[in-house]
Amino acid sequence: MQTSRLLSITLCLALALTGASPGVPPQPLGDLRNDPAREQEFMDWGVGMFIHWSLDAELGSVISHSLVGASDDYVERYFKELPQYFKPTHYDPEQWVKLAKLCGFKYLVLGTKHHSGFCLWPTKTTGFSIVNTP
């Protein structure tokens, strides 16, 4: 009971602060840059697959969240050692697409820059990229 009461109070406060009303879609501030027809088209595509693939995939997991509050030694090893092992020999995006289609996905998005900063393309802005991997 206390949790639902607190949630209700929080929601009412958030609506009051934003000027929003329940059941009324939020209105953009300034010019709407998205073409509403294209926006609807995108929503009609249905379910999509977002591929968040980075150098820590070689370990079988996404570990960059562990950088928050990590020791200097851990961070150093993450950025210096892990790229030395990123050599995806079984990289097969065509197989990813076939599997996505089989599962009913209508589109794919490949995140080309992971939240850790690792880039899947050569860039002059950082050495933490595909260029410095085997």
The model's pLDDT over 93-128, given as tens digits with 9 standing for 90+, comes to 899 899 999 999 998 988 888 778 899 889 999 999
* Alpha-carbon span 73 to 130, nearest angstrom: 22
Domain spans, the chain: 39-132
pLDDT at 35: 84
- Are 124 and 132 contacting, i.e. CB atoms less than 8 angstroms apart? no
Closest by CA to 97, choosing from 82, 85, 107, is 107
pTM summary value: 0.60
pLDDT at 101: 92
